[in-house]
Amino acid sequence: MARPIEFDREQALRNAMLIFWRQGYHKTSVRDLTEATQLQPGSLYGAFNNKRTLFLQSLDYYSTGLDETVEQVLRNDQPPLSRIENFFELILSDPEMKG
């Protein structure tokens, strides 16, 4: 019987997302991913199957977080101009949102 997952999947996806973000898909090695996620290669493959799947899941993680953040900033009780200003301030101040 397989052992239960004993790591924070969300944190691993976030760390993988950041390393892919900094280095790009092709320049990111499995070793880079194991260091970033603090998972052994076998655990990395056991949890995510392969590098491509980890990349796609980290994109989904980023997209979901971005959607939630944008929704919070743009859909509230502030005047429309304030919401737009807050949106652009967020983009300029948050390194994870910059391309």
Chain segment 42-95, per-residue pLDDT in tens: 999 999 999 999 999 999 998 998 888 888 888 889 999 999 998 888 888 876
Position 72 scores a pLDDT of 87
pLDDT of 4 strictly over 70:
no
Instruction: Identify which has the larger pLDDT, 38 or 2.
Output: 38
Chain segment 22-36, per-residue pLDDT in tens: 999 999 999 999 999
Q: List, in sequence order, the alpha helices (H) in the chain.
A: 9-23, 30-37, 41-48, 51-74, 80-93
Position 23 scores a pLDDT of 95
The answer to whether the beta carbons of residues 25 and 55 sit under 8 Å apart is yes
97 contact partners, CB below 8 Å, separation of at least 6 = 66, 69, 90, 91
